[in-house]
Every structure is written in C-alpha cells, then in structure tokens.
Amino acid sequence: MLEVRDLNAFYGDAHILHNVALQVEAGQRVALLGRNGAGKSTFLKSVMNAGPGVNGSVRFEGKNLGNLPSYQRARLGIALVPEDRQIIPHLSVLENIAMAGHARSGRPALTPGQIAEHFSMLEPLVKRYGGQLSGGQQQLLAIARAFAGAPKLLFLDEPTEGLAPIIVQGMVDEILDICANNGTALLLCEQNIWFSRACTDYVYIIDTGKLVFHGDWRAFDANPEITQRYLSV
C-alpha cells in the first residue's frame, strides 16, 4: 500500500531524514518508534508533502505521489492526525468530525454520529465545542475526525503524549475497533512502547533520522539492547 524508498527530508540546509525506507501493507498496523527529535513527525509530514523539502520515492497503492499536494494525498485515502491535534475550537464535536468528510472523495464512510459512537468518551459530548474539551478528549476527537475521510491509511503522531493512563488504555480498543471495521491500515509514531505494542504488529525504529531496526515484536523482544540504545531517555 505505502512504499517509501530512499526518502531524504530537509528543513532549509538541515538534513533530517537519511535514505529512509518503510512499507505498510493494506490493513497492516505498523509502529515507528523513536525518541523526541528522532524524525518521526518529519517522516509523516514528508509522506504527506506537508512541510519539509523531500527527495526520494513515495508510492501509495502503486502510484508515485511525486509532488502531489497534501490535500490530494488526503483524497487518495491517507489521513494524518497531527501531534498538536488542530481541533477547531468554535465547532462542535460532530462539526469537527464532519469537516474531514471533504477528504472522502467518493469513498463510503460512516456518518459523524456513527464515528463518535466508536469513542466512548466522545459520544456524550457530541454537542460540546472543541475548545471546551480536555486534552484527552481533543485527542480522541482528532482521531475520530480522521475517519470521516474514510482513510485507507491512518497516520497517528504521538497520540498518547500528555494523556492520563486510563485514557491511553481505552484508546487502544477504540483505535483497533474502528481500524478493523473500516479496513484501515495504521502507521503509529510513538515513544510509548506499551501502547505501540498493543496497537501494532510490526515495528520500525528511527534514530537521528535513520532507520536502525525493523521487524515484528518478537524480533524486537529478542534484541533487548535496542530499547536501551535507541529508546531509553
């Protein structure tokens, strides 16, 4: 589904990503782990053509995305939930979700109300304004909103950052449930190993802009030095 090869990313003269190669199959759930500043967010923005200067190959469903702008990538079926959530404060929960429906491009999708039903903390808050929500509620809303575009591939950027453990625990089931029901593949960028393991089957590790490991969680567990070297604070 997503095939990235020899991806280099730049902010001005700063070379951030170095020859990154990563693949996500249809319906697969993949984690990209790394410390703060390792290049996780830059990778997602590079694939979405949403900021960095990029060279290399990004293919989605066999199509070379080239210089395709971000909104057209969204209409192809790639949804990004950014680290800063970007909730519209003066719109209600349902209105925030409905806004993302413009990326659907003809694909069948759940209604905003049906999407909210998948998130137990959001369902009773559907008439509340985005600016009235807690940080955890806003994060769930950002994830729910992404599904209004009926994505084939969902990018989640640090969804657990700053959230209470009880919210993080509940988020696992809700993400897995709605991904499974919609056949959506997942690429999760995280530092939380427990959450990543619960949500995904395959893992990449990035360090200073270079991929240093990839494999399933069994291979990850067989190499305990990886955590100490690349993921410990």
Domain contains 122: no
- Distance, CA of 41 to CA of 89 (rounded, Å): 23
- Distance, CA of 209 to CA of 223 (rounded, Å): 21
The residue whose two tokens read 């700053």 is 162
111-146 confidence digits (pLDDT tens) = 999 999 988 889 999 999 999 999 889 999 999 999
Classify residue 165 by burial, with Cβ atoms within 10 Å: 0-12, 13-18, 19+.
Answer: exposed
Quote the tokens at residue 101.
């429906």
- Distance, CA of 174 to CA of 154 (rounded, Å): 14
Domain contains 66: yes
Number of domains in the chain: 1
Question: Which candidate, 143, 150, 152, 146, places its Cα nearest to that of 172?
Answer: 143
Domain contains 117: no
CATH (domain of 16): 3.40.50.300
Quote the tokens at residue 95.
């209105």
> pLDDT at position 219, please?
96
> pLDDT at position 225, please?
92
Domain contains 109: no
Q: List, in order, residues 6 or more apart from 132 with CB less than 8 Å away.
A: none
> pLDDT at position 167, please?
87
- Distance, CA of 77 to CA of 53 (rounded, Å): 22
Domain contains 143: no
Mean pLDDT calculated for residue range 217-233: 91
Q: Would you place residue 19 in the very low, low, confident or very high pLDDT band (cuts 50, 70, 90)?
A: very high
Is the model's pLDDT at 233 over the cut of 70? no
Tell me 166's DSSP state: H
Is the model's pLDDT at 231 over the cut of 80? yes
> pLDDT at position 191, please?
93
CB atoms within 10 A of CB 82: 17
Q: At what angle are helices 165-182 and 135-146 packed, to 10 degrees?
A: 10
**Per-residue 3-state assignment (H helix, E strand, C coil) for 29-52:** EEEEECCCCCCHHHHHHHHHCCCC
4-17 confidence digits (pLDDT tens) = 999 999 999 999 99
For residue 196, which amino acid is it? S
Residue 144: enclosing H or E segment and its boundaries? Answer: helix 135-146
Mean of the per-residue pLDDT values for the chain? 93
Domain contains 224: yes
Per the structure, the complete domain to which residue 11 belongs is given by: 2-83+151-231
> pLDDT at position 162, please?
83
Domain contains 44: yes
Tell me 207's DSSP state: E
Tell me the sheet residues that pair with 14.
11
Compute the half-sphere exposure of residue 83: CA atoms within 13 Å on the CB side of its CA: 14
Question: Which candidate, 4, 11, 143, 164, places its Cα nearest to that of 79?
Answer: 143
